[in-house]
Amino acid sequence: MEAIRSVMEMERRRIFREGLYYIALCDLCRSSEASAKLGQERNRDRIETFILTCIEALAQFEPRNYFLPVREIGDAVLILFSSFADSLEWWQEMNNGLESRNRMWEHEIPRSMQRTFRCEAKTAIHVGEVAYSDHNIPVAQAINEVFKIEKRFRANELGITEPVRISTSAILRDNDLTPRSRGKVILPGGRIETGLYFIDTYRRPRAKRELTRRRELTAGPFR
């Protein structure tokens, strides 16, 4: 909760800056199935666990540059990053946090419901120019595009577009991450196909996959 309060304080002090951003959309997988099988209360627990873990992850590393948690969109979270390295570290922290929270919930969820309740996310990152409306709401063609892109990826994957892959090749290489092709897509309003690539959590180096147990020893499931 201290981590979440820290992010909320950053939001209160934020300055809305127009410019080029890495736009991250993180979506909770299997939401329709979970809603139908878990019931209203447990499904709410699942969504809240996911949303709060996404926000908590923003306070689990030292950011190199500016980022802005924009909004919750149902069971998805939209975040703007001015540094791809920050978005990558957030993605790793978020996935680690979900794995930890899933283990915690196993003690409270009946065995028959655990597979359905399990929180897994797919994340897509696109890059584009972002401006703001009069109400400080980000508006950009790239934001519209990332919603279409996200549908092409699967649980535990980080999806990126060709422009992101090109501009961040050195960062990906430094983190021993190799994007693999997921085909091409024509973005809304465009005529030229854009390449899509993915990285999954299970193909990261072991040192980056392993969790510290501190959270499990000091925190319970989000309620």
- DSSP, residue by residue, 25-90: EEEETTHHHHHHHH-HHHHHHHHHHHHHHHHHHTTSS--SS-EEEEEEETTEEEEEES-HHHHHHH
- The rounded distance, in Å, linking the Cα atoms of 26 and 53 is 11
Model pTM score: 0.82
Residue 138's Cβ-side half-sphere holds a number of Cα atoms within 13 Å equal to 26
Whole-number pLDDT of residue 73: 76
How confident is the model at residue 86, as a pLDDT?
95
Over its C-alpha atoms, the chain yields an Rg (Å, rounded) of 17
Q: Would you state the pLDDT for residue 212?
A: 39
C-alpha 36 chain-centroid distance: 24
- Residue 213: predicted pLDDT: 40
Span 99-154, pLDDT tens digits: 999 999 998 899 999 999 999 999 999 999 988 766 566 778 888 899 989 999 99
In whole angstroms, give the CA distance from residue 126 to residue 182: 14
Residue 170 has which token pair?
Answer: 């050195």
pLDDT averages per 10-residue partition of the chain, 223 residues = 61 69 95 90 93 90 83 84 94 94 91 93 94 70 89 94 94 91 87 90 48 40 39
Q: Does domain 17-209 have CATH number 3.30.70.1230?
A: yes
